[in-house]
A and B are shown apart, each in its own frame.
Chain A
């Protein structure tokens, strides 16, 4: 059922900021030019470190930030990638303050990405910054089978919603839920998932977002007998399996590394009780 994945071989590169757009509220779209970019699998991520501030070496905040690769862009020069992110901490503030031409250290693409599961219907559920992880998955699933792909996006409010126009442009079946009802259905994106799974056709669920959202997706999918893949977002220092900081508890009792063994896991393998 699951086809084997061949991860994109990661590189370490000095990327250059081509553009940085505010997209309402704390949402930002970063376009990076990446010499030697090898291409990526849907669900893979990069580690980004904004470079020195002018002539001053920058050591604070110290660690690079894991960011899903949203999509690649055609370019007349070096390949370009897009990152969608929210400014909500010191690392993302540094990224949000970058100007075109700024240098950003990049390691990636990393992780194993989403498995290609054969199922009549694919239900992609994403909330918050998790939306950035599923755009490429939607695009690739659509190319394979245009009829069976539905994307469910959730946000607190219309202003928090990222990427809606891009998903609409893909031509994917799109449903939206906001907690305050300012866009789409009022409520949680997991309510949309319950309704979608009430239909008879078997489905596979792909979820990325806050831990509570993914856990609820796993429960709903399990109750309906649907498979569920989740993309976890634990903090990490390196992204390639050496800091061991991103351990996620499995029901087997072992820990998996989100960066190396994931970030995508079979939801039934995750020990949600012990997730921090």
Chain B
């Protein structure tokens, strides 16, 4: 694969230098160590760890997952070990050279900021991803990422709490993704991650019940890829912030689509369940695409979508 070796895959995302534009998505990759039998984490750009809260958090009762056409729904409810156990037990289990982006999540803005503080300076943590898709208690259960004023307050508070590079992971469950992107840019975010899963419902028709105990879940997988591409493209046109694109990526060609629509890097999510070495194959696939089409640098693909009449 000498022609692949000639491709320069490096990109810089929100001030974080990455050896490859391929990361893995929060909630699909545990704390990294689970993938040790299948994938060398230093072969990909890095991984986004499972969202962390101040205290350990227990998830929803089963059933927590449901299959859907070319996708799946999940309603895990952000079960995690808590930020302190992550720093104390999970990070030390990882080898040097792994790039970790820590995902943070909470129900109140002050608590988000506290989680961010506790991760600042932790070994291997190169940046934070703010999961803004949690229902906000004080706003009557609406997601942080669905209300521009609430989102602004969240990004402002976390920005003050840390000097780490800050990505904000946006909810797709909004009317105007560009408006949310502009709010993040104005409040000092360093980049955007999109999209999170799409709110969805699946029904067990025999039992006339929702499949999930939580009733509603988040749809992920190839089913949402065209929606994700659309939102990356719209956000790209709305702001100058670098974008980490995700939604149903299964191959190098899928990832290239996100780069062409303006993403600087990508995350592989649900595909990790089917194939725990998938992120490595996606990284190789991007380089093969570049070799096939005469691109010396992966970075040259970013935003290279040729739209008619523009």
Contacts and interface: CB of A to CB of B under 8 A. Distances in A.
Interface of A: 9-12, 49, 57, 59-64, 105, 107, 234-238, 240-249, 254-255, 274-276
Of listed B30, B35, B60, B274, residue having the most chain A CB within 10 A = B274
B63 A235 contact: yes
A64 B250 contact: no
* 4 shortest interchain CB distances as A-B pairs: A245-B65, A238-B273, A242-B30, A59-B70
Given A57-B250, A237-B273, A255-B59, A12 B72 contact: no
Contacts of B74: 237, 243, 245
Contacts of B72: 62-63, 237
A247 B276 contact: no
A248 B62 CA distance: 7
A60 B68 CA distance: 8
A274 B38 CA distance: 34
Contacts of A241: 30, 34
A276 B75 CA distance: 15
A249 B61 contact: yes
A62 B270 contact: yes
Contacts of A62: 67-68, 70-72, 221-222, 270, 274
B55 interface: no
Contacts of A238: 272-273, 276
B59 A276 contact: no
Given A11-B37, A243-B74, A245-B74, A61 B67 contact: yes
B79 interface: yes
Contact count band on B: 35 or more
Of listed A11, A49, A62, A243, residue having the most chain B CB within 10 A = A62
B29 interface: yes
Of listed A105, A241, A244, A275, residue having the most chain B CB within 10 A = A244
Interface in B73-88: 74, 76, 79
Given A59-B250, A235-B63, A241-B34, 11 more contacts: A12-B277, A57-B250, A61-B67, A62-B71, A237-B72, A241-B30, A244-B59, A245-B74, A247-B59, A247-B60, A255-B61
Contact of A243 (B60, B61, B65, B250): B65
B58 interface: yes
Contact of A59 (B35, B222, B273): B222
A205 B277 CA distance: 38
B28 interface: yes
Nearest to B276: A12
B108 interface: no
B279 to A, nearest CB: 12
A246 B35 CA distance: 18
B107 interface: no
A242 B278 CA distance: 14
Given A241-B30, A244-B76, A12 B275 contact: yes
A193 B72 CA distance: 39
A243 B222 contact: no
Of listed B28, B65, B213, B221, residue having the most chain A CB within 10 A = B65
A11 to B, nearest CB: 7
A107 B276 CA distance: 8
A276 B76 CA distance: 15
B38 A12 contact: yes
